[in-house]
Amino acid sequence: MHWIRECTVATEDEKVELIKTLRKNKKAELKRLGELLPSGGRTVMLNGVLEVPYCPDSGSDFTVIGRSHWEQLRALDPIITVEELSVPVENQTFDSTVVTARLKAKLHVMIHRAVGPVEPMSMATCWWWMSTMVS
């Protein structure tokens, strides 16, 4: 894997065309992804301090939280008990980015539904994903 601008095989015109094509494809991917992302109306409250969007029944076996939401949650609720996973878990996203979960925490989750808030009987174990680049 290398950067287009550093490619020694392609001409400058080919590089420009390739960049245009990649941007066009990226916009198409983002448009399709937008259809899959949670709507603004579906939110979950974490530990009673942070409201974040969620995707119901995504098919995932795990509850995960991204780095930015994790950092916001830690700032709002610094007493969260964090544990290291005994074995880090890697996953590949749609754009070939690899994300690795190394930490987990038990969180109180309240799901906002049309009929009112729903709170599971037990705390949810959430993994914190960190992205890493793959070559």
Q: What is the pLDDT of residue 1?
A: 47
pLDDT tens across the length of the chain (135 residues): 457 777 788 888 888 888 888 777 766 555 555 555 555 567 888 889 999 887 766 666 667 788 888 889 999 999 988 888 888 888 777 777 788 888 888 888 888 777 777 777 677 777 666 554 433
Distance, in Å, from the CA atom of 3 to the CA atom of 10, rounded to the nearest integer, reads 11
Q: What is the pLDDT of residue 133?
A: 41
Distances (CA, A) of 125 to 52, 76, 80: 16, 18, 12
Distance, in Å, from the CA atom of 126 to the CA atom of 80, rounded to the nearest integer, reads 12
**pTM of structure:** 0.57
The pair of three-digit structure tokens given for residue 106, joined into one six-digit string: 């038990």
Please answer whether residues 133 and 97 qualify as being in contact, where contact means their C-beta atoms are separated by less than 8 angstroms: yes
Cβ neighbors of 120 (< 8 A, separation 6 or more) are: 109, 111
Q: What is the pLDDT of residue 6?
A: 75
Q: Which helix H or strand E contains 86, and what residues bound it? A: strand 82-92
Distance, in Å, from the CA atom of 108 to the CA atom of 50, rounded to the nearest integer, reads 11
